[in-house]
Amino acid sequence: MGKVYRARDVSLERVVALKVLPARHAKDPTFVQRFVKEARAAARLNHPNIVQIYNFGSVEGTYYLAMEFVDGRSLGSHLRERRFTEAEAIGIARQVCKALAVAHAEGLIHRDIKPDNLMLTTRGEVKLVDLGIAKRLDEDQAITQTGHSMGTPHYVSPEQIRGQKDIDARADIYSLGATLYHLVTGHTPYQGSSGAVVMSMHLVEPLPDPLQYAPGLSEGFCRVLRKMLAKDRQERYPDVAALEVDLFRLHVGQTPRPNEPTAPVFRSTADATLDLNTSQRALIDPVVLLRIEESLAVLVGPMARILVRKAARAAPSLDALCEELARQVDPGSGRDAFLAKCRACGRASTPVKPPTGPGKTPAAAGRTPAGEATPSLSPPPRTPTPSSSDPGASRTPSGFSEPDLALLETALAQQIGPLARILLKKALKHATTLSGLASALEENIPGDEGRRAFREVVRRLTP
């Protein structure tokens, strides 16, 4: 959005922080609109824990924002040197709650709470900064790009990732929870090879238990963290006032006992490296497991590999395995359809070849050493369906055939998870050819292996 300089206000003789919109963005009405929006949003808020706006405007086409100069550093800068104690993190979070309470009372949702947007002064005060993607609950939806994910991947709430229209204060509570996790453990909640992978993990993967990084954390603090980071926002704190009550209890040495999320939030490190032993491979064919993983990956993303192997360790039958995996799928996302597909995988008469590569034979490809995840399969060769070259193909408003788009979304979802649908919709706004659309989608896939699998699907679509 811009560069920030230390400057002097010559009329009032004071040091200020001067944010300047880059020249290349000043020519873009959308960027200018967001820049002015940030200034107006922040100028309405007056609180010691929010950076104050002094002035904004433009001079000869250069847009600027003059604001309070903070004598200190961001929490992100501190985290590069050390992590914070539980007591320090609680004190910081309480101050952020006070700032957010003022913003939320004005109908303003920050939507990008993270360590880099929280300044810590030399006097120990926390200052909330950067309202560049803040959203008013009553504003024009076009400005905030409703339907697209907004925020920073490591801290963004699940509802923002899904591009929901009705983002509210609970999104900031989730992001503050992810920030608290980072402050006390020194690690972001999820770590992946790309932003798309990290966001998929926010949607479906339980959190690593913070006690593995910081064993000294109190039970009450972990309870509060679990509630803040509930994937279902209905199970989070309803507002920052309720959260601040429990933070105060922690501050005075009490143990808050908020209602626990119904879905498990933390997972242990051991669950991340699961594999099938010999007897279990004899019970359920590895090729069947690969088929099931492929179907599940469309709904839950890369976590499908771990979920399938975990369920297979205890499942006495294919039906039991399918029932257990179906519980991981949201009812609104096609749980019944997945269950039917899962059961059909075991009855399929035509085996699907596991992926092969240098040094692998098809027979060995279904077996992986302990601790290694079996690569997801590419979608099977297409059966004849209307395609972009068929005169009678069903076409979307963008001009691409629906079967082709469905196959692209499925192939992308296998690599990055449920975020595939959002990315496909975004790419469709700019793509004019199928190959151009595929190239834009491929940029979101981490790793050469995943990209090669995706290209193979594209190769079947294009002449």
pLDDT in tens, 335-357: 888 888 888 877 653 443 444 44
Domain count, the chain: 4
- Same structural domain, 78 and 64: no
Give the model's confidence band at 374: pLDDT under 50 very low, under 70 low, under 90 confident, else very high.
Answer: very low
Which residue, 269, 286, 308, sits at the end of a domain? 269
Instruction: Please give the Cα distance from 143 to 451 (Å, whole number).
Output: 33
Please, where are the H alpha helices in 106-185? 158-161, 169-185
Ranked by mean pLDDT, which of 140-144, 256-260, 316-320, 385-389 comes out on top?
256-260
pTM of the model: 0.64
Per-residue confidence (pLDDT) for residue 365, from 0 to 100:
37
pLDDT in tens, 110-122: 989 999 999 999 9
Per-residue confidence (pLDDT) for residue 457, from 0 to 100:
77
Give the model's confidence band at 179: pLDDT under 50 very low, under 70 low, under 90 confident, else very high.
Answer: very high
Backbone angles phi, psi at 37, to 5 degrees: -60, -40
Instruction: Please give the Cα distance from 389 to 366 (Å, whole number).
Output: 36
Domain that holds residue 37: 3-68
Mean pLDDT, residues 69-89 taken together: 95
Which of 38-52, 66-80, 174-188, 320-334 has the weakest average pLDDT? 320-334
Per-residue confidence (pLDDT) for residue 21, from 0 to 100:
82
Per-residue confidence (pLDDT) for residue 7, from 0 to 100:
95
Per-residue confidence (pLDDT) for residue 220, from 0 to 100:
95
pLDDT in tens, 404-437: 787 787 778 777 766 777 788 888 888 888 888 8
Mean pLDDT, residues 207-220 taken together: 93
- Same structural domain, 151 and 255: yes
Per-residue confidence (pLDDT) for residue 439, from 0 to 100:
86
Report CA-CA distances (Å) from 109 to 154, 179, 322, 338.
Answer: 18, 16, 40, 36
Report CA-CA distances (Å) from 410 to 101, 114, 207.
Answer: 41, 32, 26
- Same structural domain, 163 and 285: no
pLDDT in tens, 282-335: 356 666 777 788 788 777 776 677 778 777 777 778 888 888 888 877 766 578
Give which of 452, 387, 386 is closest to 414, Cα–Cα. 452
Which residue, 18, 37, 68, sits at the end of a domain? 68
- Same structural domain, 152 and 9: no
pLDDT in tens, 384-393: 434 444 444 4
Per-residue confidence (pLDDT) for residue 394, from 0 to 100:
52
Instruction: Please give the Cα distance from 123 to 125 (Å, whole number).
Output: 6
Which residue would you say has higher pLDDT here, 198 or 377?
198
Residue 273 token pair: 């490296």
Per-residue confidence (pLDDT) for residue 121, from 0 to 100:
94
- Same structural domain, 399 and 351: no
- Same structural domain, 111 and 252: yes
Which of 112, 209, 246, 404 is catalytic? The answer is 112
Which residue would you say has higher pLDDT here, 175 or 265?
175
- Same structural domain, 187 and 204: yes
Residue 134 token pair: 């803040």
Mean pLDDT, residues 432-452 taken together: 81
- Same structural domain, 249 and 105: yes
- Same structural domain, 232 and 132: yes
Q: Residue 443 contacts by C-beta under 8 Å, 6 or more apart in sequence?
A: none
Which of 299-303, 357-361, 376-380 has the weakest average pLDDT? 376-380
Residue 41 token pair: 């949003």
* Pairing mode, strands 108-109 and 14-20: unpaired
Which residue, 225, 250, 269, sits at the end of a domain? 269
Residue 199 token pair: 């966001």
Give which of 345, 375, 368 is closest to 454, Cα–Cα. 375
Instruction: Please give the Cα distance from 108 to 394 (Å, whole number).
Output: 42
Residue 111 sits in a domain of what CATH number? 1.10.510.10
Does the pLDDT of residue 100 top 80, yes or no? yes
Ranked by mean pLDDT, which of 38-47, 174-183, 270-279 comes out on top?
174-183
- Same structural domain, 120 and 237: yes
Does the pLDDT of residue 175 top 90, yes or no? yes
Q: Residue 425 contacts by C-beta under 8 Å, 6 or more apart in sequence?
A: 147
- Same structural domain, 54 and 112: no
Q: Is 239 a catalytic site residue?
A: no
Q: How many CB atoms lie within 10 A of CB 236?
A: 24
Residue 58 sits in a domain of what CATH number? 3.30.200.20
Give the model's confidence band at 364: pLDDT under 50 very low, under 70 low, under 90 confident, else very high.
Answer: very low
Cα dihedral value 143, 149, 152, 157, nearest 10 = 110
- Same structural domain, 205 and 250: yes
